[in-house]
Structure 1
Amino acid sequence: MNSPEPARARISIIGAGPGGLTCARILQQHGIAVTVHDRDPGPDARNQGGTLDLHADNGQTALREAGLLDEFFALARPEGQEMRQMDLTGTITSHQVPEADELFKPEIDRGQLRTLLLDSLRPGTVRWGHALDTISGPDEGPRRLHFTDGTSIETDLVIGADGASSRVRPAVSPAVPGYTGVSFLEAWFSDVENRHPDIAELVGQGSAHAADGERGLFAQRNSGDHIRVYLIRRVPADWIGASGLTAEDTDGIRALLLGEYAHWSPRMRQMITENDGLYVPRPIFALPVPHTWEHNPAVTLLGDAAHLMPPLGVGVNLAMLDAGELALALAHAATVDDAIRTYEKTMLPRSTRTAKTLEGGAEHLLSAGVPDFDSDNGAQP
């Protein structure tokens, strides 16, 4: 089969996260039809997670191309760029405070960003409740998408924007993410100025980090007077069950943590044990480095589906940069095949460089110093 012209192609994006939605928005800006399929039954089916910073040289670049940069700045929190490094007593040892006009990487809640992108799309672009099962058909296309509800569709281009557990990835790569040996345990704090004022003072308007070499803590201010704290520990991926606990056993997990963090000050332990509700385990996985694949004329990947890395401030930014570059390649190429080649020629080397820089980086969050992965591709936490 000859590769179709993008304007005449049936383009299917799997995953309605920031990367998939950014790609869809820019394609529509260039008059190219696209459909997004997502496993969630609707846009409000689950919490979208905490806050993220969008960098001027990647995430914001994609939003500018999408025509949404002004709307982003209206929602973003520049004060969220504040970063505190603390010792185990809660004493600040390093303090980065943004200038009044600093906009290099302002924070925005993930849910707010997703809503901004969703609202920018044409009605009906996202098909909710469409969980991809498998992909069939010849490599040269067209491909057939088989969904778990028993339905299927034929498409000329499959874009895997479906994250760490991508169902598209097996169509081009046998690689699967591996556990890094480091796990996050998320704790939520609500109405912090009234209910948790000491924690609000500790964290400030942005983020705060502390570690002792074996365990760490990373706290982030979110909008709506919320704070999320991530307890960072070197543990087996199944540590909760191995400890004889369940994820719902908040008291049991809290007791275990109090023992592990016993030498931290009572002030710091507030962020470990006074959370509102359950703890949420988040083991950290990463794809092998490098992760590349043989070119396929009808399937490609972006974001975590293509280059899952430790969560050190680059994931969403690279996903949105990938999305913008792929959409522009499709807008300007003669065929879908040509567009994928153009996109992957830039994306794969960039993601390989970044992944090599961040390989093993989750371990750095356990060190007392501030992690710094500065590079020419904007890989900064």
Structure 2
Amino acid sequence: MRIAIVGGGLGGLTLARILHRHGIDAVVYEREENRSARSQGGMLDLHPESGQHALAAAGLDGRFRAEARPEGEEHRILDPAGRTLVHHVPRPGTFTGRPEIDRGVLRDLLLDSLPAGTVVWRHRLAEATTRRGGGYELTFDGGYRAGCDVLIGADGARSVVRPLLTGVSLSYVCTLVELTITDAGRRHPEIADLVGPGNLWCVGTDRILAAQRLGDGGIRVGITSRDPDLGRCRTTRALLDTFGGWDARLTALIAAADDTPVTRRVETMPIGTRWEHRPGITLIGDAAHLMPPVGEGANQAMLDAAELAAALAADPTGAIPAYETAMFARIGPIAEMSGRVQAMMLSPTAADEIVRFFGAGVAPGSRRGSRPGETMAS
């Protein structure tokens, strides 16, 4: 049984690792040049029931604990004037919640756990077609071809594998602009103090300015808006011009950025998306259920991988339909919740709704001893 996994993100790598533990070989085709070709993004909080569960199935929970940052769960929410609406502080040193880990560190952990040659770099899938007699033919940029008996699309939002199963269209949700502040503690100590060791959100009208403290001392800054014109801001100066009236301590997050703004169009698949089962092919992660970025995407991708790997190890013949039935049932409520949270975060009354949702009656400036909810910045 030749298994091809298209996409070397967290879902695809988790799947390859767990299959390897079951003695099942797979090849991961990844479009990037190498593991260091680009930044993997900010922090990710791994949930016990999904991301952490998958790492336990992969035999990597101990290494995860060695690399994770429980203090990264600290979460502050401010208004445009700089007033604190909610401040959550985790219990020091505890792993009972959703400890944060840098996405790049987690990806490296998974890559290092795989046998040499499992990941084939510089292979961007151009087309996948069915073969006469069963299986699939993969054609990559440059003309290289490969065949497989089982094809698993872990290739993200704009999956090349997905059209073999469904012609679903993506819908625009918002625009995200990302920036980075390197070595913040030394170069910008006042900004580092504002952000703290975890997440900071500044919530305005149809605008969220978020920041994350990374394990290397840098800060990842993100600006989210439903206005697609935000993507036209190609410089920090242009971005600053859209934040008139905001407290200077907050806009300093933009002014201090070292790099050129990177814009991403955020899209989703319709809630409840399903497809008719086809032999030898399925999807995991964003390829299967693209949701708003409220902290569930990577966790669910890793859980998809764990459940599919377990099914393939137990019963290769019936694995894919069993996995898809369970995945569709699991993802439906999560996608609905993610949509509600996304709408709340960018609603005209976002600040009030966020205090109710995260603070449950917490007065401005107060603290909670248990984590109030999910973080969009993850």
CA distance in 2, matches of 1:334, 1:240: 45
1:380 aligns with 2:374: yes
Contact 2:175 2:231 in 1 (8 A): no
Question: Residue 130 of structure 1 aligns to which amino acid in structure 2?
Answer: H
Please tell me whether residue 286 in structure 1 is matched to residue 278 in structure 2.
no
Give the C-alpha shift of residue 149 in structure 1. 1.8
1:93 equivalent in alignment to 2:73:
no
Residues in 2 aligned to 1:97 and 1:30: alpha-carbon distance in whole angstroms: 40
Counterpart residue number, 1:196? 188
Q: Percent identity of the aligned residues?
A: 44
**Residue type at the aligned position of 1:156:** D
Task: Note the C-alpha offset of 1:26.
Answer: 0.3
C-alpha distance in 1 between matches for 2:188 and 2:144: 49
Residue 334 and residue 311 in structure 1: after superposition, are their counterparts in 2 closer, same or farther (change >3 A)?
closer
Corresponding residue of 1:6: none
1:356 aligns with 2:336: yes
Which of 98, 102, 107 matches 1:105?
98
Q: Determine helix, strand or coil for the equivalent of 2:94.
A: coil
Contact 2:77 2:203 in 1 (8 A): no
Kindly tell me the number of residue pairs found equivalent between the two proteins: 356
Look up the match of 1:340. 320
Distance 1:167 1:210 in 2: 36
What do residues 11-67 of structure 1 show as CA deviations (whole Å, max 9, x unaligned)?
000000010000000000000111110111211111111111111110000000000
Aligned to 1:131: 124
2:238 and 2:225 map into 1 onto residues whose CA distance is: 12
Q: Which residue of 2 aligns with 1:228?
A: 220
| TM-score for the superposition, normalised by structure 2 | 0.90
Matches within 5 A, 1:208-357: 208-236=200-228, 239-241=230-232, 247=234, 250=235, 254-335=236-317, 338-357=318-337
Instruction: Give, in whole Å, the separation in 2 of the partners of 1:89 and 1:348.
Output: 43
SS at 1:188 equivalent: strand
Deviates more, 1:359-368 or 1:223-232: 359-368
Deviation at 1:101, TM superposition (A): 4.2
Query: CA RMSD of the aligned region, Å?
Result: 1.9
1:370 aligned counterpart, secondary structure: helix
Return the TM-score normalized by structure 1: 0.89
Distance in 2, Cα, partners of 1:264 & 1:314: 30
- Contact conserved, 2:11 with 2:284, CA < 8 A, in 1? yes
Per-residue CA deviation, residues 97-152 of structure 1 (Å, 9 max, x unaligned), is: 11124322111111111110001001100111111111112598211111112121
Candidates 147, 169, 193, aligned match of 2:162: 169
Which residue pairs with 2:40 in the alignment?
48
| Residue in structure 1 matching 2:29, options 34, 37, 46 | 37
Is the CA contact 1:219–1:227 (under 8 Å) kept in the aligned structure 2? yes
CA pair 125-175 structure 1, distance change in 2 beyond 3 A = same
- The verdict on how the C-alpha distance between 1:176 and 1:258 changes in structure 2, with shifts beyond 3 A counting, is same
Please give the alpha-carbon distance, in whole angstroms, between the structure 2 residues aligned to 1:344 and 1:298.
Answer: 12
Note the residue ranges of structure 1 that are not aligned, 5 or more in a row: 1-8
CA contact (8 A) 1:90 1:202 kept: no
Give the AA of the match of 2:269: L
